[in-house]
Chains A and B, each alone.
Chain A
């Protein structure tokens, strides 16, 4: 018989935080967690300054990520963390219920990002903060902290090297794999591209992100999401409030659609097509082509390369409680069981159907459809201010009687022979498909047309 005093232990271990939850997140997303904290700081400071929420709302606020082989520093000018917040909330594992909600549309919500980022990258860190009123340093020595089994707190020191208002997180004793990643320029370029994509709507408010490595200092570019708009094309827009969450769904044609699918299967053209989910202006899901959004979700059609060029955006904003949004702790996925999100998916499907109908119709006269698409100007989606816009797409009338029926020819030949044929055709830089096409034209002219004369 079990004694009534017996209890099953539920105490967490430090190892779980240092070595387990760090596996759930990529290095790039850890860096972005630290940037998220800076963005929240900038929003808090901008609100305190009484700034209006326009395109310049965050102008002047910035974060610089500096990586060397031995340490990573994330330095912002976004107001710093107050000593009270540091003592009571910022280093707590998990967000406390009584934590102040002093940031509108916050993107830091679980109380895990900064600690997880430190544990993921190195064994030593210091978090220096300078506010208008105080300055201090929190020292994180992971080895020492792990040794003290019962004590979960971190030491606070009043020594700070800087007087500039803001927060500076320095992570040292980096893991070798982390150090190697930041000397891989391809990784850094990918991080810059990902940040440009995922912070596009925050950067548009004037916020700045800089990445400084041994080789370069790059300001993350401001990516502008655009959709086609003219007399033929108009993006669709649905906006509503669902249980205190502001929802805007926008979709349309982002770039010219493909005529010949195989040509358009190249990754770089397909990458930006699909659905985006944006929580409090932070892109969480980008270019999705899976049932995480609409594609193959329930009885909805799965993604097909003929949809390349389509882009849809689900914005979910919560002014006062970011936990109402469906993002997961890594901010790289959404919780599909969240009810507001499920309801939004229904609206996204309805808008997407109109686009799918158009891609089927345009097969009737793809040349005229392509001409119209090429002529259409584009509008930045942040300029679409209305509450509701009906999607407009050109009507395409099939013209089978006027149009020669085409068939696609595909074959494989040795590359060396194709290169020789390209030279014989007078242009060594011709693509393989161009060589095939020109060779057919040549044959047809000599062997077919001339015989018919």
Chain B
């Protein structure tokens, strides 16, 4: 995040984007389910709280975290200071890379959940943040990144108007972290619908590689990266949220039990949660009608939906069934 970019909070109230809202709930649901031995209440939460601090409210209410840093660009930090909902949120004014570079060793010693929700694409600045977080964080820390995943954001145009293939941009940023399977070579382009998944693979591979390359270890066992999330949400532009945990050997057995898989599967990302959240907006009447059909199995839902008279596409209705308990309800209030 750089200080002079157009702040997206001028354009968007983050609390009322349905898919983003569901994604946030799913991620905090997963974090709550981490083993008690992690003692998340002693963690620090670091994010870009903007003016709304939605994720900070979740972190405080659900995870009971009481040490929180919100990184905000210099021009907006005074407004963020005014809007911070809790006294335990500290506004850190400046670029994320500057704030991370200034962190003292004792501040890195506290494990954290860092969710860096960028407005733009994964670029060298995001790479830099990712690298510093994963090479300095304490074991047990969770690192999440949200970036734009529209293929055309990765197709810069040169002077002669030629747009380079997105795969070349990915190779330039991610090198060998670009997955081998399912990626075409130039001049073929990556299909727009497949791009978010490939980008998620790139970032998770990169995160694992950074952790291994850091050479950090305890009792000769290298720290490991455990992919936990690969979400895609679409509230106008496709965005992905990916991340995982930096773990030392002491955490592995607890995670094996909590997630019901063996260590190898943890490291290879088999336990990560993957969702595509592209639910269409629905009316209050549709929501209430759908809710009256639930809960039930998908096959039962199909039957009930068929006789309900609701005029939604069946695939969208099925998706609603999966996330109905997380689907947000927005209402106007008079203050």
B206's contact among A177, A186, A416, A438, by CB below 8 Å, is which? Answer: A186
Q: Flag whether B258 is at the interface (Cβ < 8 A).
A: no
Please give me the residue from chain A that is nearest to B268 by CB atom.
A214
Whether the pair A216, B5 counts as a contact (CB closer than 8 A) is no
Complex CA gap A428/B263 in Å reads 43
CB proximity of B267 to chain A, nearest CB, Å? 4
Complex CA gap A427/B2 in Å reads 20
CB proximity of A67 to chain B, nearest CB, Å? 10
Q: Mark A184-204 against chain B: 1 for CB-CB distance below 8 A, else 0.
A: 111101101100000000000
Chain B 207-224 residues near chain A, CB threshold 8 A: 208-209, 212, 217, 220-222, 224
**Contacts of B87 on A, CB cut-off 8 Å?**
none
**Contacts of B267 on A, CB cut-off 8 Å?**
69, 180, 183, 214
Please give me the residue from chain A that is nearest to B161 by CB atom.
A434
Chain B 105-128 residues near chain A, CB threshold 8 A: 125
Complex CA gap A288/B68 in Å reads 50
Complex CA gap A331/B108 in Å reads 42
Chain B 161-210 residues near chain A, CB threshold 8 A: 163, 168, 171-172, 175-181, 201, 205-206, 208-209
**Contacts of B136 on A, CB cut-off 8 Å?**
none
Whether the pair A189, B159 counts as a contact (CB closer than 8 A) is no
Complex CA gap A68/B267 in Å reads 10
Whether the pair A431, B175 counts as a contact (CB closer than 8 A) is no
Complex CA gap A426/B175 in Å reads 30
Please give me the residue from chain A that is nearest to B215 by CB atom.
A177
Whether the pair A434, B208 counts as a contact (CB closer than 8 A) is no
Complex CA gap A429/B156 in Å reads 5
Q: Flag whether B269 is at the interface (Cβ < 8 A).
A: yes
CB proximity of B219 to chain A, nearest CB, Å? 9
B177's contact among A180, A185, A430, by CB below 8 Å, is which? Answer: A185
**Contacts of A214 on B, CB cut-off 8 Å?**
264-265, 267-268, 270
Please give me the residue from chain A that is nearest to B249 by CB atom.
A176
Q: Flag whether A380 is at the interface (Cβ < 8 A).
A: no
Q: Flag whether A268 is at the interface (Cβ < 8 A).
A: yes
Whether the pair B178, A189 counts as a contact (CB closer than 8 A) is yes
CB proximity of B180 to chain A, nearest CB, Å? 5
**Contacts of A350 on B, CB cut-off 8 Å?**
none
Whether the pair B264, A431 counts as a contact (CB closer than 8 A) is no
Inter-chain contact total with CB atoms closer than 8 Å: 99
**Contacts of B4 on A, CB cut-off 8 Å?**
414, 416-417, 420
B180's contact among A70, A218, A437, by CB below 8 Å, is which? Answer: A218
Enumerate chain B interface residues (CB-CB to A < 8 A).
Answer: 2-6, 125, 152-153, 155-159, 163, 168, 171-172, 175-181, 201, 205-206, 208-209, 212, 217, 220-222, 224, 263-265, 267-270
B264's contact among A70, A185, A438, by CB below 8 Å, is which? Answer: A70
Number of interface residues of A (CB under 8 A): 38
Whether the pair B177, A429 counts as a contact (CB closer than 8 A) is no
Please give me the residue from chain A that is nearest to B185 by CB atom.
A221
Q: Flag whether A266 is at the interface (Cβ < 8 A).
A: yes
Enumerate chain A interface residues (CB-CB to B < 8 A).
Answer: 68-70, 176-177, 180-181, 183-187, 189-190, 192-193, 213-216, 218, 266, 268, 414-417, 419-420, 427-431, 433-434, 437-438
B212's contact among A70, A184, A430, A431, by CB below 8 Å, is which? Answer: A184
Complex CA gap A308/B177 in Å reads 24
Whether the pair B205, A218 counts as a contact (CB closer than 8 A) is no
Whether the pair B209, A180 counts as a contact (CB closer than 8 A) is no
**Contacts of A176 on B, CB cut-off 8 Å?**
217, 220-222
**Contacts of A218 on B, CB cut-off 8 Å?**
180-181
Whether the pair A419, B5 counts as a contact (CB closer than 8 A) is yes
A187's contact among B209, B217, B263, by CB below 8 Å, is which? Answer: B209
Complex CA gap A185/B179 in Å reads 8
Complex CA gap A428/B150 in Å reads 13
Whether the pair A268, B171 counts as a contact (CB closer than 8 A) is yes
CB proximity of A404 to chain B, nearest CB, Å? 16
Complex CA gap A186/B155 in Å reads 23
Sample of 10 A–B contacts (CB below 8 Å): A185-B209, A186-B176, A187-B209, A189-B177, A189-B178, A215-B269, A414-B2, A415-B2, A429-B153, A431-B156
**Contacts of A420 on B, CB cut-off 8 Å?**
4, 6
**Contacts of A434 on B, CB cut-off 8 Å?**
156-159
Please give me the residue from chain B that is nearest to A192 by CB atom.
B180
Which among B6, B156, B171, B175 has the highest number of chain A CB atoms within 10 Å?
B156
CB proximity of B185 to chain A, nearest CB, Å? 10
Whether the pair A430, B181 counts as a contact (CB closer than 8 A) is no
Please give me the residue from chain A that is nearest to B152 by CB atom.
A429
**Contacts of B6 on A, CB cut-off 8 Å?**
420
CB proximity of B181 to chain A, nearest CB, Å? 6
Complex CA gap A437/B157 in Å reads 12
Please give me the residue from chain B that is nearest to A68 by CB atom.
B264
Please give me the residue from chain A that is nearest to B156 by CB atom.
A431
Complex CA gap A213/B180 in Å reads 13
Please give me the residue from chain A that is nearest to B263 by CB atom.
A69
Whether the pair B268, A429 counts as a contact (CB closer than 8 A) is no
Given contacts A176-B220, A429-B153, contact A186 B159 (CB under 8 A): no
**Contacts of A414 on B, CB cut-off 8 Å?**
2, 4
Given contacts A416-B3, A416-B5, A434-B158, contact A183 B264 (CB under 8 A): yes
Please give me the residue from chain A that is nearest to B177 by CB atom.
A186
Complex CA gap A176/B268 in Å reads 15
CB proximity of A188 to chain B, nearest CB, Å? 8
Whether the pair B212, A181 counts as a contact (CB closer than 8 A) is yes
CB proximity of A130 to chain B, nearest CB, Å? 28
Whether the pair A184, B180 counts as a contact (CB closer than 8 A) is no
Whether the pair B157, A427 counts as a contact (CB closer than 8 A) is yes
Complex CA gap A253/B157 in Å reads 27
Given contacts A189-B179, A268-B172, contact A183 B158 (CB under 8 A): no
CB proximity of A212 to chain B, nearest CB, Å? 12
Please give me the residue from chain A that is nearest to B204 by CB atom.
A185
Contacts A189-B180, A414-B4, A438-B159 known; list 7 others, CB within 8 Å. A69-B263, A190-B176, A214-B264, A215-B269, A266-B172, A417-B4, A429-B155
**Contacts of B176 on A, CB cut-off 8 Å?**
186-187, 189-190, 193
Whether the pair A180, B212 counts as a contact (CB closer than 8 A) is yes
Please give me the residue from chain B that is nearest to A215 by CB atom.
B268
